[in-house]
Chain A
C-alpha cells in the first residue's frame, strides 16, 4: 500500500485491495479453527477512538485486533474528556504519549481521519472507521469480500457484476467508499435514490444514477440497501417514511424480481420495515450476517498489513 494509513478507498490500488481480500480470506480460515488467536501483533497497541456511537464497528475492530494479539484500548467520546470540550488535537497527543501504534477513528466530521493523519499531532497509523458523510473504507472492503465470496469466488476480481446501492447516498460514507472500491475491482455501480438524497456533483462519479428501484432490480447481481436515518424525514428529504418505504424499500415483492443468484446486503444497523422488510433481511438471498462476520477478517487484514505484523503462518506461541 502506498499510504501508511487507510483513510479512503482511494488509498488502495486494485492490487492492494485484492491483496487485502486474499489476506482476509487466509486469516478467516485460520480463525475459523479451534484456536482463533494469532501472535502477529503482540506488543502493539491499537486504540479505538470513537467519537460517535457505533457498537458493531468498534466490536469488529476490537475483535480483529485481539485475534492478532494486539493490546486494545477503547476510547469513547461519551463520558470522557472529549465531552468536556477537549479537542481532537489534545486527544491525539494524549494517545501519542501513551504509545498507540494504530488509531482506529470514528468521527462525525468528514475529514477527521485525514486531519489526524496529516497533522503532526500523532505518529500512529490511522485507520478511518467512518468520518462524517465522507468514507468508511473497511466497510467497502468487507462488502467487496462478501460479494466476491458469493459471486466471484474463483475469479480475480468483480468484473461484470452490477451492484445497486439504494437509499441515502447524500449522507452515506458507505456509499462513497463502495463506489470507489467496487469500480476499482471492475463492478458497475448504479445508485438508486430519490433526487433529494443524491449529492449535487454526483454526475461526476463513475456510476449510473436511477430514481426507479423497480426498473433496476431485475438486472442487478447485488442490491445493497442503506440505512435511512429517521431524522431525514424531518428535513423534508422525503414526505413520509411510508412513501419512502413504498418507493425504495426492499420487500418480498421486489425480492422476487431479483435474479436467482442475486444477493442482498445491508451495512447495518437495519430499520426493519423501512428500507428493508423483515422477510427480505432474513431471506436466503441476504448475506447480511456474512458481512458482519467478514468484517472481522477484513479488519484483521488491514491491521496486519498496516502494522507490519510477522508472516501469518508463524504460530509459535
Chain B
C-alpha cells in the first residue's frame, strides 16, 4: 500500500491517493493541508507516468552504451513508466525472436514497461518487409513498426507496409529523410552550414517524405506516425493532413524544441543529431504545432553513444543525443514556462496521447479509482542542473550538460510499486552506477 497526500492533479484539484495491488484504490479530495500520510505531495503535481514512443536502448549489440536495464533506469529517472525500444539494434529487431528478447529483458529489469518496436524491413535494408505478423503476434505484441535511423525510402515498400499493418491495427513510424538529398549530410542546410562548410541537410529532404507518406496513408487508409518532426514546413504538411482527416500523428523531440543549428558552429559533435538541429524559426513552429496538437506528442529519440563516438572530429562522430532524463524539464521550459501549454496539455502530449497512439492500455490513464498505478510526482517550482556524470544512462552524450532546467521528479510509481522515492531509484542493482 502506498499513500500519497495533498498532491495537485494537472486540472488543479488537490487529492489524497491510496495505491494497492497495482491500481489506484482510492482517490479523495484534499484540503491541501491534510495530515500527511505516506508521501507528501504538497506543492507537487501528480500525473500519469510519461510514455516514450522513441527510445534507443542499444541492446542487443551495443551494450557498452546502453542496455535495456540502464535505459529503464534512465527512463524512471526521467519520469517515464513506459518506453519503446527502437528496432535498430544489432541484430535488428526484425524477427519475433529479437523483439521477444527485448521484451523479456524489459520484464526482468522490471521498473518500467519496455515495448519493442519492430523493423519495417528486414535488417532495415529498405527493400523487403520484415516479418511484421510474427512480431505482432509474439508475446511482445508489437504494434509500432519503424526503420528509424533509416527512412523507408522506397514508395512501394512504404505503401505495402502501411497496408500490411492494418491487420494488426499497427502503425508505421517513419523516419522522414529522403536519402538522395542527404548523402553524407551533416547539419541543417542554411546560413550556418554555408559558413562553416558542413554538408547541408535540407528541410525539403524531410518534408518531401512527410508529404508523400501522408498521401500514401490517405490512399490505403492506414495509420502513419511521423518521427521527430524538425521543420516548419513539416508542421504545415501535418496540419493540412489532419484537416483532411488523414490518420497521421507526429512527434517532436525535446532537443528540437530548444536547440538550434548555430550551436554547431564550434563543431562539437554533442550537437550532431539526426534529424539535425534546425533554425529558430523551425523551433518556434514546432512549439506552436505541439501547443495546437498538430504535433501530437513529445518523444525523446534517446540515443546513447559511448564516449569515443563523440570525442572526435564532427564527421566521424555518431548522430544522437540522450533524452530520457531531461525531456520533462525541457518541455516545461519550452512549452509551459512560455505559456504555450498548460500542465494538462503537457500530460496529454507526454503520456496520454503516446499511450493511445501505441495502444499501451495500462499507461497514460486518467487518475481515477481502479486505474493502473503508473504515476509520477513532480515539483514544478524546483529546478536542477544537468550533469552528464550523474545520469542513469550508461552514456553521457547530453547536449544539456550544465544547463539549469525547471521541474524535479521526486517519486515514480510503476505498476503500483515505488520505483523512485524522494528522487532516488529504489531498485538498486549492480549495473546502476557503472
Q: Which residues of A does B touch, CB under 8 Å?
A: 87-89, 107-112, 114-115, 118-119, 131-135, 173, 176, 199-202, 204-205
Contacts and interface: CB of A to CB of B under 8 A. Distances in A.
Contact of A201 (B186, B194, B199, B311): B194
Given A114-B266, A205-B194, A199 B311 contact: no
Given A111-B197, A204-B195, 7 more contacts: A88-B316, A110-B186, A112-B313, A119-B311, A200-B190, A201-B194, A204-B191
B261 to A, nearest CB: 11
A129 to B, nearest CB: 15
Nearest to A133: B197
A240 to B, nearest CB: 21
Contact of A110 (B191, B202, B267, B311): B267
B192 interface: yes
Contacts, number: 80
B313 A88 contact: yes
A18 B96 CA distance: 69
Contacts of B316: 87-88, 109
18 contacts: A107-B313, A109-B316, A110-B267, A114-B267, A115-B267, A115-B314, A118-B268, A133-B199, A176-B197, A199-B193, A200-B189, A200-B194, A201-B193, A201-B194, A201-B200, A204-B191, A204-B195, A205-B195
Contacts of B266: 111, 114, 118
Contacts of A88: 312-313, 316
B253 to A, nearest CB: 24
Given A89-B312, A115-B314, A110 B196 contact: yes
B308 interface: yes
A110 to B, nearest CB: 4
Interface in B307-342: 308, 311-316
Contacts of A176: 195, 197
A136 to B, nearest CB: 10
A89 B202 CA distance: 30
A205 B195 CA distance: 8
Contacts of B194: 199-202, 204-205
Contacts of A202: 194
Contacts of A173: 197
Contacts of A201: 189-195, 200
A87 B312 contact: yes
B193 to A, nearest CB: 6
Please give me the 5 A-B residue pairs with the lowest Cβ-Cβ distance, nearest first. A111-B267, A201-B194, A134-B197, A199-B194, A133-B197
A109 B191 contact: no
B198 interface: yes
Contacts of A115: 267-268, 312-314
Contacts of A89: 311-312
A175 B199 CA distance: 16
Nearest to B190: A201
A87 B307 CA distance: 12
Contacts of A204: 191, 194-195
Nearest to B308: A87
Contact of B314 (A110, A119, A205): A110
A275 to B, nearest CB: 20
B191 A111 contact: no
B265 to A, nearest CB: 9
Quick one: which of A88, A115, A135, A204 has the most chain B CB within 10 A?
A115
Contacts of A107: 313
A113 to B, nearest CB: 9
Quick one: which of B199, B313, B316 has the most chain A CB within 10 A?
B313
B189 A109 contact: no
Contacts of B192: 201
A132 B315 contact: yes
